[in-house]
């Protein structure tokens, strides 16, 4: 999600929440907008910002407090909004090493508005930022398990409808997983998305049969989802490999009708 899309929904984020983001979002504007709305940000430091831990107010080893000064007004920002933002904000930088094998990045520098080093320790912030990887897993579930990686529609309007249908289905599965986790006091991230999706398909089949005892079926659905847990694999290492080998056909680079006519003429 880029800045224009995020700005349209940032007002819906409740004050007191912590926003996890990658390095694209560690800019002055998002940090300042979050500060004015009571939202804290934990993100990887922007790759264009030069960070020197010899400067700033030291809070610990490779842990500093610096000042971000307001740059010139961008084209997308109105003058009234630009004037309402403070001329500078305090930002905390901290750097840590990734010791676990299998991770591509070995050193990570965070930029956050959680400034109190005694309340928010570097170890806790590093573990918090590690949870951002769950977003990548959710996207994988949406693309792979729900078969969204290849859209079937052609027109822009139908493509939007197809994306909306996938998002509705994804939120429905996640809502059922959350309801099951709350009922049986489980962690939602430890439940299987694929298993919950299959259980919901069976539940929908029962509804299509005009079943009368729907309350009991819903309770059975939540109990089934609670039993479909995934293992805790913190040190998991697996290479990316394709299970199915591609066919040795050439890629289609021209519309089908001209090719069909050309082969028919040659025959």
Closest by CA to 139, choosing from 15, 14, 4, 22, is 22
Listed range (35-39, 236-240, 250-254) with the worst mean pLDDT: 236-240
The domain ranges of the chain are 3-131, 136-227
Closest by CA to 60, choosing from 98, 107, 114, 116, is 116
List, in sequence order, every residue forming a beta bridge with 229; answer none if it has no partner.
191
Contacts of 218 (CB under 8 A, 6+ apart): 203
Structure tokens at 198: 């299959």
Residue linked to tokens 């439940």: 191
Decide: helix, strand or coil at residue 171: helix
Listed range (100-109, 145-154, 206-215, 223-232) with the worst mean pLDDT: 100-109
User: In which band, very low, low, confident or very high, does the pLDDT at 95 lie, cut at 50, 70 and 90?
Assistant: very high
- What DSSP string describes 139-156? HHIIIIITT-SS----SH
Calpha distance 146→138 (Å, rounded): 11
Calpha distance 128→94 (Å, rounded): 13
* 196 has a pLDDT exceeding 50: yes
Listed range (45-54, 99-108, 109-118) with the worst mean pLDDT: 99-108
Listed range (13-17, 90-94, 152-156, 238-242) with the worst mean pLDDT: 238-242
Structure tokens at 224: 């089934």
User: Tens digits of per-residue pLDDT, 133-191?
Assistant: 778 778 888 888 888 888 888 899 999 999 999 999 999 999 999 999 999 998 888 88
Q: What integer pLDDT is reported at residue 1 of this predicted model?
A: 41
Closest by CA to 35, choosing from 67, 2, 61, 58, is 67
Measured from the Cβ of residue 2, the count of other Cβ atoms closer than 10 Å reads 8
List, in sequence order, every residue forming a beta bridge with 40; answer none if it has no partner.
18
* 117 has a pLDDT exceeding 70: yes
Strands 40-44 and 18-21: parallel
Q: By the 8 A CB rule, do 125 and 94 touch?
A: yes
* 232 has a pLDDT exceeding 60: yes
Q: By the 8 A CB rule, do 201 and 146 touch?
A: no
For the four alpha carbons of 204, 158, 150 and 102, in that order, the dihedral sign comes to: negative
* 238 has a pLDDT exceeding 80: no
Structure tokens at 57: 């107010």
């Amino acid at each position: 999600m880029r800045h224009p899309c995020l700005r349209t929904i940032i007002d819906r984020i409740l004050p007191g929440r912590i926003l996890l983001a990658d390095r694209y979002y560690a800019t002055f504007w998002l940090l300042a907008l979050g500060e004015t709305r009571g939202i804290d940000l934990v993100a990887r430091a922007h790759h264009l910002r030069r960070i020197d831990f010899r400067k700033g107010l030291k809070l610990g080893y490779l842990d500093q407090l610096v000042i971000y000064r307001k740059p010139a007004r961008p084209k997308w920002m109105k003058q009234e909004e630009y004037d309402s933002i403070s001329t500078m904000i305090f930002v905390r930088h901290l750097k840590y090493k990734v010791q676990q094998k299998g991770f591509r990045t070995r050193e990570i520098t965070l930029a956050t508005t959680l400034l109190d080093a005694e309340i928010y320790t570097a170890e806790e912030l590093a573990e918090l930022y590690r949870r951002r990887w769950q977003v990548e897993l959710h996207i994988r579930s949406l693309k792979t398990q729900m078969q969204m990686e290849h859209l079937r529609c052609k027109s822009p309007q139908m493509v939007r409808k197809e994306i909306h249908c996938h998002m509705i289905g994804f939120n429905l599965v996640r809502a059922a997983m959350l309801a099951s986790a709350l009922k049986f006091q489980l962690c939602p991230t430890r439940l299987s998305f694929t298993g919950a999706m299959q259980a919901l398909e069976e539940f929908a089949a029962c509804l299509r049969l005009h079943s009368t005892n729907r309350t009991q079926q819903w309770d059975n659905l939540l109990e089934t989802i609670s039993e479909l847990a995934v293992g805790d694999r913190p040190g998991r290492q697996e290479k990316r490999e394709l299970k199915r080998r591609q066919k040795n056909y050439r890629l289609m680079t021209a519309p089908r009708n001209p090719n069909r006519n050309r082969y028919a003429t040659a025959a």
